[in-house]
Amino acid sequence: MAHTDLGLEVQKKFAAALPEAVVEKQPKLEGRPKIKTHSGAKKRFKLTKNGKVKRGHAFRSHLLNGHGKTRKLKRAYRKASYADKTNTAVIKRMLPYA
C-alpha cells in the first residue's frame, strides 16, 4: 500500500469515527517525489553557470608555513579548481537542484 493510500484510509476512519469533524485540506496526491541532495556533495562542490563542477583544493586548509609547501604551490592553491570531466556526471547526479 502506498503512503498516500494509507493516509487516505486513516482520514476516512477518522471521518467515520467523528462525524462532526471537518477536513480542511485534502492530501496532495499528484506530483513526482523529490530527489534528495547528497549532503557530502553539497558541502564540497558548486556548479558554475557553464556547467563545470568547482571543487576545493586539497592540502590547503592548514600548515601553510613551511612543511614543504613553497610560495609557488600556495599561489597555485588560490586559483579555482574544477572536478575532472570523468566525475562531473556523478557529481551532478548527487546535486539534482544545483
The answer, as to whether pTM is greater than 0.85, is no
What average pLDDT score do residues 53-65 get? Answer: 91
SS3 44: helix
SS3 94: helix
Q: What is the pLDDT of residues 5-15, one digit of tens each?
A: 777 788 788 87
Q: What is the pLDDT of residues 79-89, one digit of tens each?
A: 999 999 999 99
Q: From residue 57, give the alpha-carbon distance in Å to each of 27, 45, 73.
A: 46, 11, 11
What average pLDDT score do residues 41-57 get? Answer: 95
The answer to whether residue 71 scores a pLDDT higher than 80 is yes
Cell of 67: 612543511
